[in-house]
Structure formats: structure tokens, C-alpha cells
Amino acid sequence: MIEIIDIHCHLTFKEYDTDREQVIADAKQVLNGVVISGVEPEDAKKTLELAAMHEDFIFVTLGLHPIHVSGKTDQEIEHYAEFISENKRKIVGIGEIGLDYHWVRDPLKLKRTQEVFVEFLGLAKEFDLPVVLHLRGTGSEAIEEGLKIISDEDIKKAVFHCFTGKPGVAETICEEGYYISLPTSIMRSKSMKKVAKRIPLSHLLTETDAPYLSPDENERNVPQNVKAVYEEIARQKKSDVKTVEGEIEQNFERLFGVELK
């Protein structure tokens, strides 16, 4: 039996409204666990409810995706931070949080996004939880700036979710002690394949970002598609999939402090 992990997906999103429980049942056939990310207050409540229905299989991180920051008042963000604090024992990380230069371009909105990013890093430190980072933009600007911010804020444990940067940047991230998570779109990315080849297995994680980034661009993504990432990492490392599975499970447990059943 294949035992694999999807460290980042969105099973609460509307794309699963018609068959969510079937998708989870199918995922349980091949996965050891999945981590779902609450990206804003309403979604956060849904993630906790879904995880409560699937204990020891679905784990939760809560954050505020950078695209949702500008739509929230300071008071709403404060209330959300309090909600996360109240539920800190039900979550395994803070995220996804970060910077998005693709969708957020207004200088004032960018500044506020950075401030809220730092605020949520403070929550991670307060609760001693790892951070799941969303850093998106042209080139590696967002990734490099995000790396500088988490280093300045003395964040000890973090994963660069859906890493799209260059191999050299990935190496710097690993030298700082952080993790790189590769998504299912690795099948279409020469850069991601190079990252899989060059980065030590001890710093790699695997994800789908489902319902997005499907190996087949015309289909909705599902958590069990993460097996394609394991296979590609094994190919790039000239290793076997079982070795990759074992190492990534250890990385997952080390980062999130979760012992899989």
C-alpha cells in the first residue's frame, strides 16, 4: 500500500461541494494524511469542522491568504487572530500567510499585507507552531523578501508552500533550515524538477494545492494526485519511491509535530 502525505490542499473549497466525502474516502485509500489550510475566517471554521469529522487524517493550518488581507479591517483581523488563538490546540501550523505580488500590486495594499504577514508570524512564535508560506510574484522577489522577513522575525520552522523559485534560492532556504514543498504541477515545470534534484530529501515536502495545480490541467486536482510528486522526486534523485515516502513522512512529523498513525 502507498502511504503518502499531501501537506497543503483546500478540501473546503466549493469545487468539492458535490462530492467532498467521496474525495476524502478515496484519499484515505492511499494517503497517510492531508493538511488543509484555512485561508480566511469563514474558511477557517469550515476547515476545523471538516478535520473534526476525520481525526488523525485531516490536519489543519489557519492563516490569512495575502489576497484576503485588503478586504479585512484591523478589527476583523484582530478577531480572527483571537479565533486562531482559541483554537490553537486544534491546528498544526499558521498558514497560509505571506506575500502575493501577482494579485496585490497597489503599494498601500502591499505594505499592509507585509504588516499583517509579520503579525501572523508573531502568532506562530507565540504558539510555537510552524509557518506555511505563500510567496508569489514575478521572478523570486516575493520568495526572497519572504525569506528575509521570516529570518528577521526569527522563525524557526517554516515551509515554502508550492515553491516556484529557482534552485539556487531553494538551496539558500534549506541552508537556513526551512522546508520546500513541491506541488503536482512539477510534471510541467523544469525548474521544479531541478529543485527536486538538487535539494536534499531531508528538506522536501509534497502537496497538491488541490483543487488547483492538477497534473492534468483540464481536471480538478485531488489529494491522492500527490503521488505524482513522490514519483518525480524519486526520478530526479535516482531513488525509489519507498525511500522518498519514508523521508518525507519524517520531514512532515518533524515540521508539524504530528505523529502519523
pLDDT at 52: 98
- HSE-CB at 220 with a 13 A cutoff on CA atoms is 14
pLDDT at 2: 63
Q: Are 159 and 181 in contact (CB under 8 A)?
A: yes
Give mean pLDDT, residues 45-64: 98
CATH number for the domain spanning 87: value is 3.20.20.140
pLDDT in tens, 240-253: 999 999 999 999 99
Q: Considering the domain boundaries, does residue 194 fall inside one?
A: yes
| Torsion sign across C-alpha atoms 145, 151, 44, 221 | positive
pLDDT at 1: 58
Q: What is the pTM of this model?
A: 0.97
Q: Considering the domain boundaries, does residue 115 fall inside one?
A: yes
Q: How many domains does the chain have?
A: 1
pLDDT at 261: 78
Average pLDDT, the chain: 96
Q: How far apart are CA 158 and CA 136, in angstroms?
A: 16
Q: Considering the domain boundaries, does residue 96 fall inside one?
A: yes
**CA proximity to 31, closest of 249, 224, 251:** 224
pLDDT in tens, 218-240: 999 999 999 999 999 999 999 99
Q: Considering the domain boundaries, does residue 48 fall inside one?
A: yes
Q: Are 201 and 170 in contact (CB under 8 A)?
A: no
Give mean pLDDT, residues 61-69: 97
Residue 118's φ and ψ, nearest 5 degrees, are -65, -40
pLDDT in tens, 74-105: 999 999 999 999 999 999 999 999 999 988 88
Enclosing domain of residue 86: 4-256
For residue 90, count other CB atoms closer than 10 A to its CB.
14
Q: Considering the domain boundaries, does residue 139 fall inside one?
A: yes
Contacts of 233 (CB under 8 A, 6+ apart): 182, 196, 201, 204, 206, 239, 244
Q: Considering the domain boundaries, does residue 261 fall inside one?
A: no
pLDDT in tens, 131-190: 999 999 877 889 999 999 999 999 999 999 999 999 999 999 999 999 999 999 999 999
